[in-house]
Amino acid sequence: MPPLTKNQALVLDALSHSGRPLSAYTLLDQLRDQGFRAPLQVYRALAKLVELGLVHKLESINSFVACAHPHQHRHGLVAFAICDRCAQTSEFSDDAIEEHLRNWAAANHFQLTQTIIEMRGVCANCLAEG
């Protein structure tokens, strides 16, 4: 893997430390002191990090999250459980679902490039708080 640029490293660092999904604008706000001035700088860094598999985009909440296990999974299928109350996000994968979807794609001559599942709901912590 090529070394990250300074901006890419700063964005990845901010996402890793947050532990939660962040929007590009929240990232820009957090990184202003580090010299970020324009949304495009953040978007460029995010695009590369997503391409490298170090960051995932969560379409349903228009935010980005650091990959929970960047050195392990092949990113065949990535699933997220996103809490609507606290934004806590759990990343996991599931071989059975992946195989199921891959079979569907093969049967329908659909060339699969990526599968991202976003589950929305309420996490255990928030449920416990009522």
Nearest to Zn ion of 40, 86 (CB atom): 86
Piece of the chain touching Zn ion by CB under 5 A; list 39-47, 79-87, 97-105, 113-121? 79-87
Crossing angle for the helix pair 24-31 and 6-18, nearest 10 degrees? 110
Piece of the chain touching Zn ion by CB under 5 A; list 12-20, 23-31, 96-104, 122-130? 122-130
Show the site string, 16-55: x = touches Zn ion by CB under 5 A, - = not. ----------------------------------------
Q: How many residues bind Zn ion (CB under 5 A)?
A: 7
In a 10 Å sphere around its CB, with 0-12 CB exposed, 13-18 middle and 19+ buried, how is residue 95 labelled? Answer: exposed
Query: Encoding tokens for residue 35?
Result: 């010299």
Nearest to Zn ion of 108, 114 (CB atom): 114
Cα separation of the two ends of the chain? 44
Q: Is 35 helix (H, G, I), strand (E, B) or coil?
A: coil
